[in-house]
Copies of this chain bind each other. A is one copy, B any other.
């Protein structure tokens, strides 16, 4: 029953098995499955795996040893380009995010508390986080009131994204254009808010 297998066939079989398996394959698993009808020593498998590692050393994929066995994985340097294969689209920004961004753009620098005062609702940390992560806003200082809240302003990246040379290129609000062509409205906080 036990059959012989030559070195080339052994290499092909182990190579194909590791590629076809969903999980990493250990030497014991190779022995128990694809190699079960052959008489192959663990040492010979070791030699074959080292040969495979060498064969793939300069290729787009490499043979890696993990805790549970051997598997092929892509070269780390290629990860950024491979990411293009599965782009993850995030959901559109909520109204709260857009209003917060608009307020920071038109009324900067201002604190989160001031944004909340104008919007009339609390501004969640995740809203500020998503705008900070996007690189559209940054903290440019701290307001010297209790708690020293951060003062938010828009960034150069924000201007680049919207194709603006400066904030004065932001469109003026139609309903206020009759007041003045070049001036933009600002909501000033009442004394209690300062």
Contacts and interface: CB of A to CB of B under 8 A. Distances in A.
Given A12-B78, A16-B75, A16-B78, 11 more contacts: A11-B60, A12-B75, A13-B78, A13-B82, A14-B60, A19-B61, A19-B72, A20-B82, A20-B85, A33-B84, A37-B81
Given A12-B59, A61-B19, A78-B12, A34 B72 contact: no
A93 to B, nearest CB: 21
A36 interface: yes
B72 A21 contact: no
Interface in A153-180: none
Copy total for this chain: 2
A14 B75 CA distance: 12
Interface string A1-44: 00000001001111111011100000000000111110000000
A130 interface: no
Chain A's interface size range is: 20 to 34
Given A19-B74, A20-B74, A74-B20, A13 B81 contact: yes
A102 to B, nearest CB: 28
B34 A85 contact: yes
Contacts of A58: 8
Interface string A58-98: 11110000000000101100100110110000000000000
